Amino acid sequence: MHRSRFYTLSASCPDQVGIIAKVSGFIAEHGGWILESSYHADAVTGQYFMRLEIKADSLPFLLAEFRERFRSAIAEPLQMDWQINDSAVKKRVVVLVSKQEHCLYDLLARWQSKELDIEIPCVISNHDTFRGFVEWHGIPFHHVPVTADNKSAAYAEVQRIFEDVRGDCMVLARYMQILSPELCAAYPRRILNIHHSFLPSFVGAKPYHQAYERGVKLIGATCHYVTADLDQGPIIDQDVIRIDHSDSPEDMVRYGKDIEKTVLARGLRYHLEDRVLVHGNKTVVFR
């Protein structure tokens, strides 16, 4: 990460001759200084992906003007799906949690140490369990119970809170509820989940117990974007750990907590740094 302020441009478009030349040429003709660049051409889909970091004070205009100039000169002619963000503007991350504490604790520790340089405007939970812990950190806590009878109203309240605090993304830190299709549709590519399984295997509840019954030798965790299809969203990051016949389901749960924390934090970082580009149900991740 660069200490000086920079803009991150991430984009995808149909593959064609001259993409790099046009984008880098546009930046260069305005005196822009490219600090980092990554590119990928997908031969199967015919799609091209890129990510650039541009030194902010090398440009003669502010970000809003860059957006307008880039849109008309480059993005529209190349049919780009693109965004550009400012490193000086901290992302606002709303955390959702249920009764499992390890991912919440880990994220707040990384936030407090500024390892994750973000703002956490609030934590939302369907239980009141972690109110004291969250408020001790000076973060507002919202208890939004979810029952079989109130799901529509509950998720409307979650959406209201998210909009009220001007959230950029939601992180489901072992939030053990299935979000409504309406909430998923409202924030595509902005809700991240940690699933305690190496997806697509063992979706749904108690995946470690499913893995134990299946007799697997590897267990893992998956950070993915949330869609209306349970545990089927585009995958951002995964990791595994080896186990053997002597490990019980309880052992596997314990091992899995360490993987879950690491994978969630890593996936969130990739998302916050605009390193994840989605195409269909797959991702390109520029590490």
| Residue reference for tokens 């108690």 | 206
DSSP letter (8 states) at residue 119: B
DSSP letter (8 states) at residue 180: P
DSSP letter (8 states) at residue 234: P
DSSP string, 76-107: HHHT-EEEEEETTS--BEEEEE-S--HHHHHH
Cα distances (Å, whole numbers) of residue 162 to 12, 88, 242, 259: 28, 22, 38, 28
Q: Hey, what are 22's tokens?
A: 């046009």
Q: Hey, what are 191's tokens?
A: 């809700």
Give CA–CA dist 81/247, Å, rounded: 46
Based on the residue annotation, tell me whether 15 is a catalytic residue of this protein: no
Spot the catalytic one: 106, 168, 231, 274. Answer: 231
Residues serving a catalytic function are: 231
